[in-house]
Amino acid sequence: MANVAQTREPQRGLTFEDVWAAMMETDRKMQEMTEKSKREWEEIRQLSKETAQQMKETDRKLKETDRIVGDLGNRFGELAEHLVTPTMTEKFRALQYSFTKAGPDLVFFGRDGSFLAEVDVWLENGEYAMAVEVKSKPRQEHVKHHLKRMEVLRAYLDERNDTRKLLGAVAGAIVPPEMRNYILKKGFYLIEQSGDTVKIEPPAGFKPRVW
């Protein structure tokens, strides 16, 4: 059988057009990558700018909070200082209470030495005793806690045959109107900071609760 010769078509070499097309495609892809990189960089730059702005705003708010807290602390310190000065006892004297003793941070213990209560300011004379709760900005939970404290103090006095009338008061540097009404409704005297002194101005018809 005769051998059949197999022939191959000669391979075509790269033409100028092929090389040019490949170069143009490479250039197109590089341009696409460059544009993508530019977009990504712009997004990163914008995100960094927004983050920096947010951090700046957060820092401003923190500084404002610190300023407010510091101001409240100063006002609270001033209020506590006023409470143990003759000015306050004079205010109560105008309400017919002649307290002969006034002291801060009085702690009460039971006969067995157990802790019973702590009073921010304690006022007393031969007929009355008064426990004052001091807060920079009184809230309802503070008043409720003070009510429970008054019951504890009444039991403490009774156990020692102390028959003096027990009164209560709440002092505050910042007291919103609704809180002022709540305090008075519970039968407490309200002591408010007023400039460099304090004011005690119960409304007409106010009757303090006596424990």
pLDDT digits (tens, 9 = 90+) for 131-156: 999 998 899 999 999 999 999 999 99
pLDDT at 71 over 60: no
pLDDT value of residue 60: 65
d(CA 85, CA 79): 10
Instruction: Report the relative pairing of strands 165-172 and 101-109 from DSSP bridges.
Output: unpaired
- What average pLDDT score do residues 12-32 get? 72
pLDDT value of residue 6: 55
- What average pLDDT score do residues 111-124 get? 93
pLDDT at 5 over 70: no
pLDDT digits (tens, 9 = 90+) for 25-61: 777 877 777 777 777 777 777 776 776 676 566 656 6
pLDDT digits (tens, 9 = 90+) for 154-194: 999 999 999 999 999 999 888 999 999 999 999 999 999 88
Written as one string, the DSSP assignment of the chain is -PPPPP--PPPPPPPHHHHHHHHHHHHHHHHHHHHHHHHHHHHHHHHHHHHHHHHHHHHHHHHHHHHHHHHHHHHHHHHHHHHTSHHHHHHHHTTT----EEEEEEEEE-TTS-EEEEEEEEEE-SSEEEEEEEESS--HHHHHHHHHHHHHHHHHHHHTT---EEEEEEEESS--HHHHHHHHHTT-EEEEEETTEEE--PPTT------
pLDDT value of residue 43: 78
* % pLDDT > 70, the chain: 73
Average pLDDT score, the chain: 81
Q: Assign a CATH topology to domain 82-199.
A: Trna Endonuclease; Chain: A, domain 1 (3.40.1350)
